[in-house]
Amino acid sequence: MKSISGFINMKSILFVFAVFVLAVQLSALPAKGTLSDRELKQGIVLVRISSIHYNDLLPWRSQAGNSYTVTGLVLKGNRILVLSSDIQNASLVEVWKYSSYRKNIAKIIKRDNEANLALLEVENPDFFNDLRPIEFGRDPHVGRIVNAMSIDGNFRAHNEDVKITDVNAVSDLGTTTLPYLFFRTSEPFNGGGVLLCGDRLCGFIGFTNNDKRAQAILPSVVQAFRSESSSPFVSQGFDLENMEDPVLKEYYGMPAKLSGALVTRVIPGTSVFGVLEKNDIILSIAGRNLDDRGFYNDPKFGLQKGQLLFVRDGDRVRKEGETIPIKVLRNKNVTKLTVSLKSYDGSAERIPAIVEGPPPYLIESGYVFVELSLPYLRDGYGSSWRSRAAEMAYLFDTQRFLEKPGKERIIVLVGVYPDDVNRGYEKIRSVPVKSIDGQSITDLSQIHRILSNGNGNFHMMELSTGMQVYITSRNRDETNRRIQQRYSLPELSRMR
């Protein structure tokens, strides 16, 4: 009997041990969302955007653009969060919820192109009666498995567990670098979605590329955006190049015991403008040493770009007006600097990545002038504009930003409406303008002023190709009226 009893006790011990091991293993598995289906649907809505498309090659024309549906996140205070890029040139924004197919008109009350976030307000005061914001959780760490969720047009949910593969500092649309979560999905999240850590929201899904690699905005970033009346995010304003080459280190007189990254550009209107200088070597930011690639070891996210230290202080998002110390090697001497953090003021872009509303243009004697911009390149050359427009791509890469604050633009002669006054030049297409009458051209209004003051018979325009174009100044007003009527042009100019 004793042996049988001992055998039973041993089985009990093994059973208890197996249960313990299983419990430990289960605790390491992803925590499934504990929100009910109804609670999930109360925290998200669908947003239908109808847009206007402005043709940057024919900027006086506009037409109905695409209509598409994205996910909106319900926030406290009866607000809805969407991506700013989703409502670009929106002519109509409508929202609807799980409990009703009725579409309600919404208006944009706040947007931040630098952070790529926007807030909507719904005109119907009863719209939020049965909606409840999902509580925010903490920013998830790299390696954590979370639940990704999206909804279709009938509010049917798609859920899958995904692993946070990395956190990277990214600038979506402007000069402000913010941290984003990255993960891979089995299904595309083209309309966006949310990440859930248990019953808390831990990410707002933005983009999914063709490889089903998705990115999501951190909860701390969303909360900082919704809590401030203006943009709470600061713009770092510098580009770095690695210093791994020992020859490069020797050239800049960098001691072997130091590590850091080389400043190759300082952007006007940002936090570091007037503090950092080109060819500084940044050794540390906010007390964190950088390696020779410009990375530091973040205790939560692992190796990260040094620019991230301008945004985060631990789990907290830094605010405008804060100061952080920077240590640099300048002219072979270690120098301590202090940077006062600020939001980007918009004074740096010579070639804008975003053009709000109708693009500016000028038509003079049949010559059509526009500003070079990223939308222009995409309209003119499609997604392969870099390979199809080599000169424009070079300008975008090398002259996108100004060296000092200003409003200069690169002006392009996009085409010519044929007339007797411009005969021989009709086939010119998409060539940057270098000068008119010896004056370097930096904006449309300057061209208008020069051509309006006809002291001689001709103005000489030089293009970037070296070609010289002669524009007659005789009977200018009559010529412009004739061309406008002949080609049914609504207006001959739209300038900011």
- Could you count the other beta carbons within 10 Å of the beta carbon of residue 5? 9
Which of 491, 452, 496 has its CA nearest to residue 368? Answer: 491
Indicate whether 34 pLDDT > 80.
Answer: no
Least trusted range by pLDDT, from 6-10, 111-115, 146-150, 293-297: 6-10
Position 191 scores a pLDDT of 87
Within 185-332, strands assigned E span 193-197, 200-208, 213-217, 238-241, 261-266, 281-285, 288-289, 295-298, 302-305, 312-313, 316-317, 323-330
Structural domains present in the chain: 30-228 (2.40.10.120), 238-340 (2.30.42.10), 361-494 (3.20.190.20)
Q: What are phi and psi of 6, to 5 degrees?
A: -65, -40
Which of 264, 310, 248, 287 has its CA nearest to residue 114? Answer: 310
pLDDT tens by residue, 356-379: 888 999 999 999 999 999 989 988
Whether 166 contacts 86, CB under 8 Å: no
Q: What are phi and psi of 393, to 5 degrees?
A: -60, -40
Tell which phi-psi region holds residue 321, choosing left (phi > 0), alpha (psi between -120 and 50) or beta. left
Tell me the DSSP string of 204-216.
EEEEE-TT-EEEE
Which of 472, 292, 212 has its CA nearest to residue 364? Answer: 472
pLDDT tens by residue, 407-428: 999 999 999 999 999 999 999 9
Residue type at position 183: F
Q: At what angle do helices 374-381 and 390-399 cross, to 10 degrees?
A: 170
**Could you tell me the CA-to-CA distances from 262 to 187, 290, 327 in Å, in that order?**
40, 11, 12
Tell me the DSSP string of 106-140.
EEEEEEETTTTEEEEEES-TTTTTT--PPPB-PPP
Report the distance separating Cα 313 and Cα 286, nearest Å: 9
406, containing H or E segment: none
Which ranges in 415-466 belong to alpha helices (H)? 444-452
Report the distance separating Cα 264 and Cα 402, nearest Å: 13
pLDDT tens by residue, 56-98: 778 888 877 789 999 999 999 999 999 998 998 899 999 999 9
Position 181 scores a pLDDT of 92
pLDDT band at residue 229 using 50, 70 and 90 as cut-offs: low
> Looking at the whole model, is its pTM more than 0.75?
yes
Indicate whether 10 pLDDT > 80.
Answer: no
For residue 59, how many C-alpha atoms fall within 13 Å in the half-sphere facing its CB?
26
Report the distance separating Cα 72 and Cα 110, nearest Å: 14
